[in-house]
Chain A
Amino acid sequence: MKVLVPVKRVIDYNVKVRVKADGSGVDLANVKMSMNPFDEIAVEEAIRLKEKGAVEEIVVVSIGVKQAQETLRTALAMGADRAILVVAADDVHQDIEPLAVAKILAKIVEEEQPGLVIAGKQAIDNDMNATGQMLSALLGWGQATFASEVEIAGDAAKVTREVDGGLQTISVKLPAIITADLRLNEPRYASLPNIMKAKKKPLDEKTAADYGVDVSPRLEVVKTAEPAGRSAGIKVGSVDELVAKLKDAGVV
């Protein structure tokens, strides 16, 4: 079976985000960018399935600016076999919406015919939590989102999902889309020899136009603002003082 894993280049999760003074967006110039953490988990899961013998080939795809090539190289260094870069934006500040991303991925799925797509459950920049679900709708496939455990069993995948009340296990027919949650696995680091080897792995470069997909946004960003600030209060010296403060505030 072939697995397709879409990966997104996003601001590194450790970087403090700054809203631009003119309200036009978030400042991404000269900040550290990394693979979306949930996508790292998705890549890792694909590699583990390959190590178990359930998967033969892992194809990673990134849709965005040309620099997403680095993100694909990281995935290749972790253990993916082949990469497809779809250049759909020139400016790092231009985010391609999940619907457009899903449409491009659907075209790639038609060409590549994977038996499974594993995506991250959400990207930590736009926090939309949508691409996997949208892709499965466009393909008419089943979906197993927020996965914390995946087991391939014949022509189905048994997936445990993190839901509001605890955990839910479902069985989804293959081909299907799985989206990875935090506790699915702990992604490996790429070793130096593997980083070197990844430079020689195939990376195809395409554009959104190659797939005939219009990536213009459906949601116009009117403005981007700082959230309401919260200032530090006071330090109390003892539990007694804390109890007194909470009683004064009327919350206990």
Chain B
Amino acid sequence: MAVLLIAEVNGADLALDATAKAVSAAKALGDVTVLVAGSGIGGAADAAAKIAGVSKVLSADDAAYAHGLAEPLADLVVSLAGGYSHIVAPSTASAKNALPRIAALLDVMVISDVTGVVDADTFERPIYAGNAIQTVKSKDATKVLTVRTASFEAAGEGGSASVEAAAAAGDKGLSAWVEDKVAASDRPELTSAKIVVSGGRGVGSEESFGIIAALADKLGAAVGASRAAVDSGFAPNDWQVGQTGKVVAPELYIACGISGAIQHLAGMKDSKIIVAINKDEEAPIFQVADFGLVADLFDAVPELTSKL
């Protein structure tokens, strides 16, 4: 059995945490070759070669892959797919964009958001916003899957895989990159942070999100948000935690002014410790919180920040 694992690349850099978590899931399936595709990704390929458990790195360094466009990336992966039993990637926005396309080109089903590997053909994945866990057995020749990073520990360093160049597979020009709007931040990344502080509709405004951010900064945490907070313009889209946003499982998740809809819980209920601060003692978030504080967040959050 051999696995082709598609590394997550941001710009020209390897997203080490997401890639190393996918390596953990993939190691159980066979010998792992990591594909790093992008432009100017020599350093990223070298970084991938150091992940423990990686036996080979393929580096596809070409302008066609600079912005993660699905069509050229899918064509590249399909050109390399022969000989691999599994094609695996971490469940990131870019992998969710490309892997179903790859699967359809290979005439196989995609298995999205795998949370458990039972054996080489059998996988667990959440359905209905995590309200049920389905075990599925694939009958396809090649298994194409995305793995939920929150469910796997990152593989360590210490590998010394060889790096080989992979030939680019062309670009039919079906789509073209125009621009990225990415806010630079010194905070840890939401999906790999040890602590996440999230705000919901109860925070009330973009300015008030400052008190959420202040607590996060005190704790060295990432900032998250509910869909309602994002829809209302209090927080950017990439902070959304939930069924259709990011899935996180930090050591500590602090939910402030979030009611606890199932779609939100789907993204954070595997956190080790959950704290809820909400002024409504009936809020469903308290049913999953280890420590609940019934209070006005405008009093409690600044007080917490000052006392930590």
Contact = CB atoms under 8 A, between A and B. Distances in A.
Interface of A: 11, 13, 16-17, 19, 26, 38, 97-99, 102, 121-122, 124-138, 141-146, 148, 158, 161-173, 176, 181-183, 217-227, 230, 232-236, 238-240, 242-243, 245-246, 249, 251-252
Interface in B204-246: 219, 227, 230-231, 236-238, 243-244, 246
Interface in B107-131: 107-113, 122, 125-131
Nearest to B272: A251
Contact of A172 (B92, B174, B179, B287): B174
B65 interface: no
Contacts of A16: 131, 262
A133 B104 contact: yes
B176 A171 contact: yes
B132 A224 contact: yes
Contact of B180 (A98, A158, A167, A226): A167
A240 B113 contact: no
B266 to A, nearest CB: 9
The interface size bin for chain B is 35 or more
Interface in B265-287: 269, 272-275, 281, 286-287
A233 B272 CA distance: 12
A142 B308 contact: no
B93 A164 contact: yes
Contacts of B273: 246, 249, 251
B300 interface: yes
Contacts of A165: 10, 180, 182, 238
A181 B231 CA distance: 12
Interface of B: 10, 67, 69-71, 74, 92-94, 96-105, 107-113, 122, 125-140, 173-183, 191, 195, 219, 227, 230-231, 236-238, 243-244, 246, 251-252, 262-263, 269, 272-275, 281, 286-295, 300, 303-304, 307-308
Given A183-B230, A183-B237, A218-B139, A242 B275 contact: yes
A220 B137 contact: yes
B78 to A, nearest CB: 9
A26 B132 contact: yes
A218 B108 contact: yes
Contacts, number: 255
The main secondary structure of chain B at its interface with chain A is mixed
A166 B237 contact: yes
Given A182-B244, A221-B135, A246-B252, 8 more contacts: A124-B128, A163-B93, A164-B191, A166-B182, A166-B183, A219-B109, A226-B132, A239-B293
Nearest to A249: B273
14 contacts: A11-B128, A13-B263, A26-B127, A137-B74, A143-B174, A167-B182, A168-B179, A170-B178, A172-B175, A230-B288, A235-B291, A236-B292, A239-B293, A249-B290
Given A133-B104, A218-B140, A158 B122 contact: no
Nearest to B108: A218
B100 A130 contact: yes
A219 B238 contact: no
Contacts of B94: 163-164
Contacts of B243: 124, 127
B275 to A, nearest CB: 7
Nearest to B70: A143
B138 A235 contact: no
